[in-house]
Amino acid sequence: MPIRRRGSQARRHPRRPRPSFSQSFFERALERAIDGLPRQLQPILDEVAIVVDDVPSAEQRRTAGLRPGEMLYGLYEGVPPTEWGADWVPLPNKITLFQRPLQEDFPDPIELAEEIRVTLVHELAHHAGFDEDRLEGLGVD
């Protein structure tokens, strides 16, 4: 299961107070990121649910193999269409963006909106079948 792991940056602002962005600000930034996707990516949006959670669950952290101090900004859960077999029934695919880690690491609203976009594109690329090595080569890591 591909993950967006940003452990080395997870606490890069340890002395700053926790930002107080509203849920609606975060959701509007996500909506703008979705609306701004290239037209070529629009069809895959029909195949995946995009949700926002506060932080990864214990199960998501365990499955992702996170170590203490590591955090996720986003997580793709599902089977990319490139891996479906002829007799498979596609299961629901889900991209989760984790609001608290994103807000804590990107206290500036402009930087937060940009990282929401980058994380969304990263996780959509996983849904399209790209692995971490390929994403790194493309500069979307």
> What pLDDT, in 10s, does the model give residues 60-95?
998 888 888 888 999 988 877 666 665 566 667 899
Choosing among 3.10.310.30, 3.30.2010.20, 1.10.10.60, 2.102.10.10, the CATH entry for 3-7+21-84+91-138 is 3.30.2010.20
For the segment 1-11, what is each residue's pLDDT rounded down to a tens digit? 334 444 333 44
Pairing of strands 48-53, 93-98: parallel
Q: Do 72 and 4 form a contact (C-beta atoms < 8 A)?
A: yes
Mean pLDDT along residues 102-131:
88
- Is 0.95 topped by the overall pTM? no
What whole-number distance in Å separates Cα of residue 119 and Cα of residue 140? 9
Beta bridge partners of 48: 93
Q: Give me the residue spans of the domains in the chain.
A: 3-7+21-84+91-138
Question: Minimum mean pLDDT among 15-19, 65-69, 90-94, 113-117: which range?
Answer: 15-19
Q: Give pLDDT, residue 67.
A: 86
For the segment 123-135, what is each residue's pLDDT rounded down to a tens digit? 888 777 766 666 6
